[in-house]
């Protein structure tokens, strides 16, 4: 369920970045902020548990950032 949500977010960010590169940055920042807040909250758990709880949020943030960047790069290539 959560994986499907992250994949859907990546696809939406990619398509938004492809169509509207400047407008997609705000959306990407808001998604990254929400995922970053989850990672920071997870890190507060003691010991290795904190790393385990924050890792999915950090990995999801990396994936959304990559898909937004890829959409902007592809859009730039298509426009030039």
Please state, in angstroms and rounded to a whole number, the distance separating the CA atoms of residues 55 and 9.
18
Structural domain contains residue 42 = yes
Question: Average pLDDT, stretch 9-34?
Answer: 95
pTM of the model: 0.88
Give the pLDDT confidence score for residue 56 in this predicted structure. 94
35-78 confidence digits (pLDDT tens)? 999 999 999 999 999 999 999 999 999 999 999 999 999 999 99
Q: Which residue has the tokens 């990995």?
A: 59
In a domain, 77, yes or no: no
Q: Is the residue at 7 inside a domain? A: yes
CA gap 37, 27 in Å, rounded: 15
pLDDT at 1: 82
Query: Domain range spanning residue 43?
Result: 1-18+33-69
Q: For the chain, give me the number of helices (H) and strands (E)?
A: 3, 0
- Counting the structural domains of the chain, the total is 1
């Amino acid at each position: 369920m959560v994986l499907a949500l992250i994949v859907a977010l990546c696809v939406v960010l990619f398509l938004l970045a492809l169509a509207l590169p400047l407008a997609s940055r705000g959306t990407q920042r808001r998604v990254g902020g929400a995922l970053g807040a989850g990672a920071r909250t997870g890190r507060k758990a003691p010991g290795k548990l904190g790393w385990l709880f924050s890792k999915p949020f950090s990995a999801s943030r990396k994936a959304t950032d990559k898909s937004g960047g890829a959409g902007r790069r592809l859009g730039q290539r298509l426009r030039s």
